[in-house]
């Protein structure tokens, strides 16, 4: 399985209350989301403001991408939603 994460900036999705980032899995584009709760509980976001959440994501990008990759490798199909219990 070939998994990569383009270096595009993460963005905030207000409807999903998550920071989103892209992934490529075997040549297919996927969307990954990490919830506000996960970013505040585990990655130091001090508020649910989009700037705080994106900053927490960028500061902890490697760990978050590692968990997203694990989810793809263990059978996730389609988009991946990372919640606080995933960390």
Length of the chain (residues) = 87
Strand 28-35 with 18-25, pairing: antiparallel
| 65 has a pLDDT exceeding 90 | yes
20, 13 Cβ separation under 8 angstroms = yes
Average pLDDT of the segment spanning 38-57: 94
Tokens 């070939």 locate to 2
Collapse the DSSP code of 83 into the 3-class scheme (helix H, G, I; strand E, B; otherwise coil) and give the result: coil
The full set of domain ranges for the chain reads 3-86
Segment (H or E) for 51 = helix 50-59
Q: Which CATH number fits domain 3-86: 3.40.640.10, 1.10.3720.10, 3.40.50.2300, 3.30.160.140?
A: 3.30.160.140
Residue 68 — pLDDT band, cuts 50, 70, 90? very high
Residue 84, classed as helix, strand or coil, is: helix
């Amino acid at each position: 399985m070939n998994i990569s994460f383009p270096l595009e900036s993460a963005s905030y999705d207000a409807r999903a209350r998550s920071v989103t980032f892209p992934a490529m899995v075997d040549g297919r584009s996927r969307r990954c989301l990490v919830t506000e709760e996960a970013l505040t509980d585990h990655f130091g976001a001090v508020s649910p403001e989009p700037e705080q959440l994106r900053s927490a994501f960028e500061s902890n990008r490697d760990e978050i991408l590692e968990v997203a990759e694990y989810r793809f490798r263990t059978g996730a199909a389609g988009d991946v939603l990372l919640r606080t219990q995933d960390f």
